[in-house]
Structures are given as structure tokens and as C-alpha cells.
Chains A and B, each alone.
Chain A
Amino acid sequence: MPEPAPAFQYATLSQQHGAARLGMWTFLATEVLFFGGVLLAYVVYRYGYPSAFAEAARHTHIAIGAANTAILLTSSFLVAWGVEAAKQGFGRFAALLLWSAAASGLLFMALKGYEYRLELSESLFPDDGFAITGSVAGGARLFFVFYFIATALHALHVAIGIVVLAAIGARARGGAYSAAYYAPLTVAGLYWHFVDMVWIFLFALIYLPGRA
């Protein structure tokens, strides 16, 4: 396998790696602010309607949420392990790890879909047929507006991540990465860990309030 050459605009491979990594971190900063917009809505309305938010959060399915958290944390571990393995030249084993992480992502999506179905059947979609009534109805609806928008956007990110991990895994299997050339690998890893991180916060905000 010949030594990979840098793209034409770079002088060296390490300059190219530095650029790719910095670019990904910049992109992740934009993602923080993207999710930040809807998080602000959550914080403001939770401050305004504390009891309604606690009541609404009790209607979420914490068992599914917790299982999904464990699944994503594990998948992140698999990705970090896979990146390290591919760098050390264990391409085929790295592919196995990355594909397992992608499969965990699929499992996450399946559970999320099942959860959505349960919620729709319980009339928790925040339109005029909303199940929670009484004085907390408005605030609880705002909670579920946040819930559906934030989790759907997160799921979209997971879906993109699954495709990326599958593709990167295939390339790792072909021995594309080495200690000298691994930029796409770490960049994909950064993205997946970030998606994991978003979920860590969503889990705390959506499933945990109002349980005590």
C-alpha cells in the first residue's frame, strides 16, 4: 500500500489532519448552538411552568430512555476503540467495532420509533387532542413540543452517523487507515461522540424531572 499523499492544497499530511480536525470541532460548535436554540426554549418554559414540566416528564418512558442511553454510551465506546484499532493497523477488527457501533445506532432508532408509537397512542402529540388536561395542560404541551423536536433532530443526527460509521468501517476493513493517515476516522468519531453527548443532556432534561 503506497504512502497516502496530501490533497493538492496542503503541504503535508499532518497539516491536512490538523485542518480536518479543526474543521470538525468548528462544525461541532455550530451544532452546540443549533441545539442551543431549542434548549433555551426548554429552559425558559421549564422556569415558567415547573409543575407542568414535572407532570409531563412523568409521562415519558424512562425505561426506554435509560436503555437508549446505555446503548449510545456503549456505541461511543466501540467507536473510540475502533478508531484506535484502525490506527494501529487492525483494519478488519476495527471494521467489526465500527459496524457494531452502527448497529447499536440502529437499535437506538428502533427503540426510539417504538417509543414514539407508544406516545402517539397515548395522545401525547402536542396538538388539540393532547392527553394532559387541566391547569398544567399548556406547559405540558410545551414540554412535548420540545420533546418531539429535540429527539427527532437528534435521531436525524444518529441516522447520518450510522451511514458515516458504516462507510468508514468499510474503508477501515480495506486497510485505508494507518498511523500516518486517519483523518476521516477521527472526524467521524468526533461526530458520533458529539451525538452521544447531546443525548446525555436530552436524557437528563426529558426523562429525569418529576420522578421523586
Chain B
Amino acid sequence: MRYFPPPRALTISWLALLGLLALTLFAAYQPLGAFNTVVALTIALIKAAIVAALFMELRGDDGLTIVFASAGFFWLAVLFWLALADFLTRPGFPPRLSPWL
């Protein structure tokens, strides 16, 4: 069987992903308060971006494919935005039940 060496960009991405995994684990145990969530999600976004750009080859793709790849996330943002417009401004959330129930 002939050996095919991994393309450099892929190897670097893989190592970066594992590095980011270690970083997010380390950060999760630091007392940063509300920033723990921010850091965890930012690192997750960077990891996802690496997977999309390099493993999924979005980096060299045409504009149309990039639009298609973003469309799902855009409409997901609409779902979150308008649903949270309700939950963040509703006095009755979270629901509190009467103690005798």
C-alpha cells in the first residue's frame, strides 16, 4: 500500500483543534464568573470555524456554498433572537408554581 502524507493544513488544523480542547478544559476550571460561558462558547465557535473552513473546504468554496452554509445559522439566530425577545422580557419567566401544587 502506498502512503499518502497528510496535507500540512489538515495536520495543523487537527493539532490546533486538540490544543483548543485542552485550552477550553483548562479555562472551564478558572473562576471567571460569567466569562466561563463566554470563553467556552468562543472556543467552540473557533473550533467549528476551523472544521468548516479546512476540513469542509469552505475556505476555497464559491460564494453560493458559503451562503448556503451560513443560511442555517442565520435562521437559527432568528429563532433565538425572537424567542428570547419573549423570554428575556416576560415577568412570568421562569414560571413559579404555587407551593401547594
Contacts and interface: CB of A to CB of B under 8 A. Distances in A.
Is B truly associated with A?
yes
Interface of A: 21-22, 25-26, 28-33, 36-37, 39-40, 43-45, 47-49, 62, 66, 69-70, 73-74, 76-77, 79-81, 84-85, 88, 90, 92-94, 96, 186, 189-190, 193-194, 196-197, 200-201, 203-204, 207-209, 211-212
Contacts of B83: 40, 44
Contacts, number: 137
B10 A40 contact: no
Given A48-B87, A49-B94, A70-B18, A25 B6 contact: no
B51 A76 contact: yes
A2 B14 CA distance: 36
A47 B88 contact: yes
B91 interface: no
Interface in B32-82: 32, 36-37, 40-41, 43-44, 47-48, 51-52, 54-57, 64-65, 68-69, 71-73, 75-76, 79-80
A26 B68 contact: yes
Q: Is chain B's interface secondary structure helix, strand, loop, or mixed overall?
A: helix
Interface residues of B, number: 51
A81 B3 CA distance: 12
Contact of A33 (B17, B18, B68, B79): B79
A48 B17 CA distance: 32
Given A43-B80, A74-B14, A212-B28, A84 B48 contact: no
Interface of B: 1-4, 6-7, 10-11, 13-14, 17-18, 21, 24-25, 28-32, 36-37, 40-41, 43-44, 47-48, 51-52, 54-57, 64-65, 68-69, 71-73, 75-76, 79-80, 83-84, 87-88, 93-94
